[in-house]
Amino acid sequence: MSMKSRIAERLTSGLEPIRLDIVDESDLHAGHSGARDGGETHFRVLVVSPAFEGRSKVQRHRMVYSLLAAEFADGVHALALQTLTPGES
């Protein structure tokens, strides 16, 4: 299973988003810290979920990072996150 698929699966089961966009931007970071052959290290993620209601940006990001702990342990180096409630999207 690709890292992108793993991220999608974890975020879908943990946050039940109404929108989830995941873009692998690893090619933009070739030669930079954390980059590796084969990519799948740098991602841009947009998550729109009711689970973020009443939570600060920091709390939302912590929720995402907590759900993706195994993926970070397996080589994800960076996420560019946008975390919104349905009313903010």
Single-letter amino acid code for the residue at 84: L
**How far does Cα 14 stand from its chain's mean position?**
12
Q: What is the pLDDT of residues 49-63, one digit of tens each?
A: 999 999 999 999 999
Q: What are the Cα distances from residue 38, in Å, to 44, 54, 62?
A: 17, 38, 27
pLDDT at 4 over 90: yes
Number of domains in the chain: 1
Strand partners, 45: 22, 81
Give pLDDT, residue 57. 98
Give pLDDT, residue 32. 60
- Here the CATH number for the domain that contains residue 24 is 3.30.300.90
What is d(CA 43, CA 78) in angstroms, rounded to the nearest whole number?
6
1 three-state secondary structure: coil
What is d(CA 56, CA 3) in angstroms, rounded to the nearest whole number?
27
Q: Which residue has the higher pLDDT, 84 or 1?
A: 84
Q: What is the pLDDT of residues 7-64, one digit of tens each?
A: 999 999 999 999 999 999 987 655 565 555 556 889 999 999 999 999 999 999 999 9
Task: Supply the range of the domain harboring residue 46.
Answer: 3-88
